[in-house]
Structure 1
Amino acid sequence: MNEVTVGYQDGCLHPLVVSKTGMRLARMMGARAIWAPDHFMGFAPKWLWTPDNVPAARVIHSMDALFDPVPLLTYAAVKHRKMWIGTSVTEPIRRHPMSLAQTFVTLDHISRGRAILGIGNGLRENTEPYGFATDKRVGRLQEALGLIRTLWNSRGRPVDFEGKFWTLKDAVFDLPLFKNKPPRMFVGAHFPRMLRLCGRFADGWLPGEKVAGAEYGARLDVIRASAEQAKRPLDTFVASQTLMCVIGESRDEILEKALGNKYCAYMALGLPPAVWREHSAEHPLSDQEAGFLEIVPSRVTEEHVEKAQAQLSPALLDRLFYMGSTRDIVAEAAPLAEAGCSHFIIANMGAAFTDRGTKNFWDMGRLIRGLGALEAPPL
């Protein structure tokens, strides 16, 4: 059986002391990795992010006050010398593949081999409002993954590349790889085409959607089949899962607060319309605007959130959050480990609506230990 490790999802939010404190406490509590998002815009509209709606707004003045993850991960690499550092996730729309190749080899040198390029196909909120392309995102990612690998393997020889999205002519990448090994690459993937890219190119899988153990295992099978077809061994491959956690005394206590909370109603808009329909509810946004991939928070109105709150149910919230005591959350995550997940990433959502303050951090320590006691079968 494989050891299960636990990582900490930072928010990259101003003020900087929040990230510094979170990283330090996570390390003290046994976390093995620090993950940072790459966002221009946060996961909540500005009108919603007030102390009346969100307790965390007393400290974090705006969900849109986001730091660039690369300098923050550089700080983490120097300050926390035994922890992996990675993006969760960036994309090749705002960042050119050459820039990504260079940046993460640089981070790998600074961290002495602990850098992870976590990459996906991009969220609309970070691209379309800023004038970046939003079409053909999966095809763009596929080309970028191949191009990054080509640059890392080029050993300083000029690279010619003619693709649908990028063209390189006599391009040189001569930054030596740390100990002659490229940084690890994890792909954020949920659906078949993306899962196949993960198996073909990646060293790890970085999903965020909450699924049952059986579905997690089925998706991992797609990755295995793709890796086998590409003749890539999975001996060191890491299957992970991000857990949006809300820790409390009990699940019932959390649900009571969540069902009356506007921020939770807003977060439910991140679920696709198909999930809402499964629970006999109608998504307040159109199919083209709904779900975390497509939603643009700055365009969500109070009316949208009120419609969501009127239909909010425990079943819908269960599709988003891991809720309850630390034992409850470990028990709910255990089937994922049994299916092959060997790295859990804790995204602590409690400060958004439970108002437990620093107690959430100490609860997180128990959760890290509980998840770390699980075991995962070899891939």
Structure 2
Amino acid sequence: MKIGLLLPTMYPWELDEGALAVAEAANCDSVWTVDHFLSLFHPEIWAERVEDRPFADPDAHFDPFVVSAALGRTTRLALGVGVTDSARRRAPDVARTALSLQSLCEGGFNLGIGCGEAQNLLPFGYDFSRPVARCEEFLRELRSLLDEGRMPDGGVGRLGLPLETAAGKPRVWVAAHGPRMLRLTGEYGDGWLPSWGLDPDEYGRRRLEVARHASEAGRPAPMSGLLAITMIGESRQRIRELYKVEPLAKLTTLAASAERWRAHGLEHPDGPTSRGMPDVITHNLSADALRELAPKIPHELLEEGRFCGSVEELVEQFAAFARQGLEYLVIANVTGSVGGRKQAETHASDFPELVKRLAEL
């Protein structure tokens, strides 16, 4: 299994340089950036949790492509964005960026594409209507530009940049969960990069669906990836205890759908039809209501969206996905988001061991 590390992609810059050094020391295959404007955390609540945290502002996000360009000149690891969306920029602009970064980064560039999230679009005036249809048109143009250097309409629109370097071509990863996006992954993607709320069996079923669509389109099956929020600790039980002490940290479950919240006996603060991460704009919610809600959130709901445990427990959890075809794991290491700096420092040496064990799967 190949392993990537998701970078903070946040101010201050030293955190991103430090994360790259961690990835290199652990023999990761790649590092990936995040493309957000707003965080899932309400800024008022973050201010109450900021002691002993590295980020003073949850919305201090760097531009992911600028970070990739800056770091890509300093490392042999592949760079990537996990993921940008098809709403803010059209395919020709993103294709030019991807080809530029493929030339700048010795290890090449992984371009993750998704439909987008309301929190990164609506507050800034971007259109979030027909996201899947927009993404389909985006991917059709992107594929033509990266493969042929030209727009698919047969006109004069072209890119003169090299389409391939010593590291190969830019690799397109599609963040797909629903049926239409799974189809688009098979038809246009080099890789599949889902994230939230999949158990191993469902992961395997959707992987086969992607492969079927690729076969019907006459394309090889995309590589099967997973972007996994991961917390290393003494044990799953110990991490559970840390969340009891810091219940506000459980508000990351806002990324789960209203359906999943109802399954645990709660109503989603974003409403009964919320899809979670695609829809929620945490900054629009009442900070007081979130404070009151946080202690009531069951840990089981939290674990549906992240992987928690010791190295041994995490290897066991990811091995179940490997048996269902997982080939490329991108880890968002959030160790220390509860327990603070002490927790992060205590388990810093566990990350290289985790990468080593996972690479053997």
**Deviation of residue 259 (structure 1)?**
3.0
**Deviation of residue 102 (structure 1)?**
0.3
What TM-score does the superposition give when structure 2 sets the normalisation length?
A: 0.93
What does 1:211-360 correspond to in 2, within 5 Å? 211-234=198-221, 237-289=222-274, 291-355=276-340, 356-360=343-347
Aligned residues: 358
Query: 1:66 corresponds to which residue?
Result: 61
Q: 1:357 to 1:141 in 2, by over 3 A?
A: same
Q: Is the 8 A contact 2:40 2:254 kept in 1?
A: no
**Helix, strand or coil: the match of 1:317?**
helix
Q: Is the 8 A contact 2:258 2:276 kept in 1?
A: yes
Query: 2:140 corresponds to which residue?
Result: 146
Ranges in structure 1 where 5+ consecutive residues have no aligned partner: 162-167, 375-379
Query: 1:107 corresponds to which residue?
Result: 101
Q: Is the 8 A contact 1:56 1:352 kept in 2?
A: no
Ranges in structure 2 where 5+ consecutive residues have no aligned partner: none
Q: 1:11 to 1:172 in 2, by over 3 A?
A: same
What is the aligned counterpart of 1:5 among 2, 6, 26? 2
What is the aligned counterpart of 2:126 among 129, 132, 140? 132
Once the two structures are superposed, residues 194-250 of structure 1 have per-residue CA deviations (whole angstroms, 9 ceiling, x without a partner) of 11110110000111113221111000011011001101022xx32111221111111
Q: 1:364 to 1:31 in 2, by over 3 A?
A: same
**In 2, Cα distance between equivalents of 1:214 and 1:67:** 36
**Helix, strand or coil: the match of 1:87?**
strand
**In 1, Cα distance between equivalents of 2:149 and 2:352:** 43
**Deviation of residue 73 (structure 1)?**
0.8
**In 1, Cα distance between equivalents of 2:186 and 2:148:** 22
Q: 1:61 to 1:73 in 2, by over 3 A?
A: same
What is the aligned counterpart of 1:53 among 29, 49, 52? 49
Q: Is the 8 A contact 2:258 2:273 kept in 1?
A: no
**Helix, strand or coil: the match of 2:5?**
strand
**Deviation of residue 294 (structure 1)?**
0.8
Overall identity of the aligned pairs, in %? 27
**In 2, Cα distance between equivalents of 1:363 and 1:263:** 25
Q: Is the 8 A contact 1:35 1:87 kept in 2?
A: yes
**Deviation of residue 285 (structure 1)?**
2.3
**Deviation of residue 283 (structure 1)?**
1.8
Once the two structures are superposed, residues 10-46 of structure 1 have per-residue CA deviations (whole angstroms, 9 ceiling, x without a partner) of 1201000000001111110111110111111122121
Moved over 4 A (4+): none
**Deviation of residue 155 (structure 1)?**
4.3
**In 2, Cα distance between equivalents of 1:368 and 1:113:** 19
Query: 1:204 corresponds to which residue?
Result: 191
Q: Is the 8 A contact 1:260 1:309 kept in 2?
A: no
**In 1, Cα distance between equivalents of 2:143 and 2:156:** 17
Q: Is the 8 A contact 1:269 1:308 kept in 2?
A: no
Q: Find out whether 1:94 has 2:79 as its counterpart.
A: no
**Helix, strand or coil: the match of 1:89?**
strand
**Deviation of residue 266 (structure 1)?**
1.4
Query: 1:164 corresponds to which residue?
Result: none
Q: Is the 8 A contact 1:54 1:353 kept in 2?
A: no
Query: 2:112 corresponds to which residue?
Result: 118
Q: Is the 8 A contact 2:3 2:328 kept in 1?
A: yes
Q: Find out whether 1:77 has 2:63 as its counterpart.
A: no
Aligned AA (1:209): W
**Helix, strand or coil: the match of 2:266?**
coil
What TM-score does the superposition give when structure 1 sets the normalisation length?
A: 0.89
**In 2, Cα distance between equivalents of 1:36 and 1:313:** 30
